Amino acid sequence: MAKLPQNATTPPTVLAIYRHYEEKRGEWRRAHLGGSQIGQPCERALWYGFRWASAPEFPGRVLRLFDTGHREEARLVADLRAIGIEVHEVDPDTGEQFRVSAHGGHFGGSIDGAGRGFQESSQWHVLEFKTSNTKRFRELKAKGVEKARPEHYAQMQVYMHLTGMRRAYYLAVCKDNDEIYGERVRYSKADAEQLIERARRIIAADSPPPRLSEDPEYYICRWCDHRPICHGDMLPEVSCRTCLHATPELDGDRRWSCARWQKDLSLGEQKAGCSEHLYIPGVTPWEVADADPAENSVTYENGPKNGGAGGLDSVTLKEVQDGVPF
């Protein structure tokens, strides 16, 4: 029998699976700054994400990997219940996943669950479940979660602060050999309050915070989704979140206001933007030379004019830069 041809390329069936994950990918524009993100090192990147500056580029293989992590959560819940731990995956009062928020709903997240009855302690714990490759797992075992995965530590501190629970139980599964790492984490009021204030500072900033590094080849910058905007000449996506007229208000529930139209903006309106959109100073590769509120325009030094009276609207400006014929 003739052998099937073998080559190093990815088979079409596998490519189709990856495309499936890319096609079913959910909305990338999160309405709030996430508690799972706040421990990341770069405030500028967090600001860009909150302002929907650019869509993260995840191939199908990576999206499937994320799905694997989500599936592990149910297994860990079953494992805990099997050894007698009381686990609540949803809020008994609402029947929905536990959610926490601060700063008018602009900051928050969802906890994996709440558990009690551990052999180490009988009090309630925030539950946090993760998966890890072997290298990261070994580092976790050697250093503990605070030093090895500071973003996970920060996430738990925020969730403990906002739920009122004073302990968290962190479980991480090694994807290569199924070993489980467990660690109880104590609440630190100082750490939690510092993180909550960091979130407020990012949300309230009306221009991009300073770069983490001025070197675009710095290892964190090199893999950042926002690198083409932060270190390059790429313009951000057009939406209310990148418009100088829009402001995240710290009262209400994720409320955004528009100074141009003197109104609050729905989530749908924020995504769509409007013809009066003007880029926030600091998010373009050009310096502002002049701004005219009467004609709603910004003129850039050594750059185009954005807005009224002969200037390009933001959508056209973005399309021209992206290579769409004008």
In a domain, 213, yes or no: no
What percent of the chain is modeled with pLDDT above 90?
82
CATH number reported for the structural domain that contains residue 65 in this entry: 3.90.320.10
Residues 199, 265, single domain; the answer is no
In a domain, 220, yes or no: no
Q: Which of 160, 188, 204 is the last residue of a domain?
A: 204
- Residue 322 confidence (pLDDT) above 80: no
β-strand partners of 86: 116
Tally of residues, the chain: 326
In a domain, 8, yes or no: no
Q: Which of 186, 204, 222 is the last residue of a domain?
A: 204
Q: What angle do CA 182, 186, 189 make, to 5 degrees?
A: 150
In a domain, 82, yes or no: yes
Residues 43, 110, single domain; the answer is yes
As for how many domains the chain has, the answer is 2
In a domain, 19, yes or no: no
Q: Tell me: the pLDDT tens digits for 48-77?
A: 999 999 988 888 998 898 888 889 999 999
CB 153, CB 39: distance < 8 Å: yes
CA dist., res. 64 & res. 111, Å (int): 21
Residue 42: its pLDDT value, please?
A: 98
Residues 157, 254, single domain; the answer is no
CB 104, CB 248: distance < 8 Å: yes
End-to-end CA, the chain? 58
Residues 74, 138, single domain; the answer is yes
Q: Which of 204, 227, 244 is the last residue of a domain?
A: 204
Reported as a pLDDT band with limits 50, 70 and 90, residue 144 is very high
Residues 140, 42, single domain; the answer is yes
Residues 68, 160, single domain; the answer is yes
Question: What residue has token string 């749908």?
Answer: 268
The model's pTM: 0.91
Residues 111, 165, single domain; the answer is yes
CA dist., res. 76 & res. 71, Å (int): 9
Residue 263: its pLDDT value, please?
A: 98
In a domain, 155, yes or no: yes
CB 109, CB 155: distance < 8 Å: yes
In a domain, 212, yes or no: no
CB 300, CB 284: distance < 8 Å: yes
Q: Once rounded to an integer, what is the mean pLDDT over residues 157-166?
A: 97
CA dist., res. 166 & res. 169, Å (int): 10
Residues 150, 288, single domain; the answer is no
Q: Once rounded to an integer, what is the mean pLDDT over residues 22-50?
A: 94
Q: Domain residues for 155?
A: 29-204
Residue 326: its pLDDT value, please?
A: 37
Residues 77, 185, single domain; the answer is yes
Residues 171, 286, single domain; the answer is no
Residues 112, 241, single domain; the answer is no
In a domain, 304, yes or no: yes
Residues 44, 113, single domain; the answer is yes
